[in-house]
Amino acid sequence: MPVLEPLRPDHAEALLAFERANRAYFARSIPDRGDAYFAEFAERHAALLAEQAEGVCRFHIVRDAAGHLVGRVNLVDLADGSAELGYRIAESAAGRGLATAAVAEVCRLAVTAYGLRALTAMTTVDNPASRAVLLRNGFKCRYEFLFDDRPALAYRRVLAGPAAQA
C-alpha cells in the first residue's frame, strides 16, 4: 500500500532524482518536461509549495512500502469544488497497483481533506495503464482531444453527492 505525503521543501532532492531517473520512461507516454524543468527545479519546487500554501493545488509524493519515493499524485487548479488529477509512478514501481492505490487515496483525500466534489483527468490514448488506473477508480471517459498533437482522453469522476452513487 503506497503512502501519500503532502509535498514539502525537504522532498526537493528526492523528487528531482525521481524525475531525472524516469524522464525517458515518462516521455514515452506524455510530453517531456524539457531541459529547463530540470535546470530550474529548485525554483519550480518553491513555486509548487507556494501554490500549495495558497490552496490552489495539492501536491503529494508517493512512497512504497520500503519508504522509497516512487511517484507523485497532484490535484491542481482547485476551484468550485473541482480539481484536475495528475500522477506519475516510477518505471521500477510500475505494474504493482501503486498508481491505482495512490489515485484511490487522493480521491479519498479530495473529499475528506480538501472538500472537493469532482475530479478531472486526462491521458493519451496510447497509455493503456493510465486509462486503466482511471477506470478502476471510477472515472468516466468524457471525450477525445489532441494533447501536443497526440490523441488523448478526458475523464471525470464525481466524488460526492447523488451523482457519485451512480
pLDDT of residue 165: 47
Q: Where residue 1 falls among pLDDT bands split at 50, 70, 90?
A: confident
Domains: count for the chain = 1
Q: Is the pLDDT of residue 117 over 60?
A: yes
- Residue 115's alpha-carbon distances to 78, 79, 110, 120, 160, in angstroms, are 10, 10, 6, 15, 9
Q: In 3-state terms, the chain is what percent helix, strand and coil (to 5)? A: 40, 30, 25
Torsion angles phi and psi, residue 121, rounded to 5:
-155, 165
129: domain CATH number is 3.40.630.30
Q: Average pLDDT for residues 17-30, to the nearest whole number?
A: 92
Q: What is the pLDDT of residue 121?
A: 98
Cell of 84: 484536475
* pLDDT confidence of residue 28: 86
**Phi-psi domain of 57 (left: phi exceeds 0; alpha: psi -120 through 50; beta: other):** beta
- Return the pLDDT at 164: 58
pLDDT higher than 90, residue 30: no
> Residue 86 carries which side chain, given as an amino acid letter?
G
- Please give the mean pLDDT across all residues of the chain: 93
Q: 62 is in which domain, residue-wise?
A: 3-165
Q: Is the pLDDT of residue 88 over 70?
A: yes
> Residue 166: what pLDDT?
45
Which amino acid, one-letter code, is at 4? L
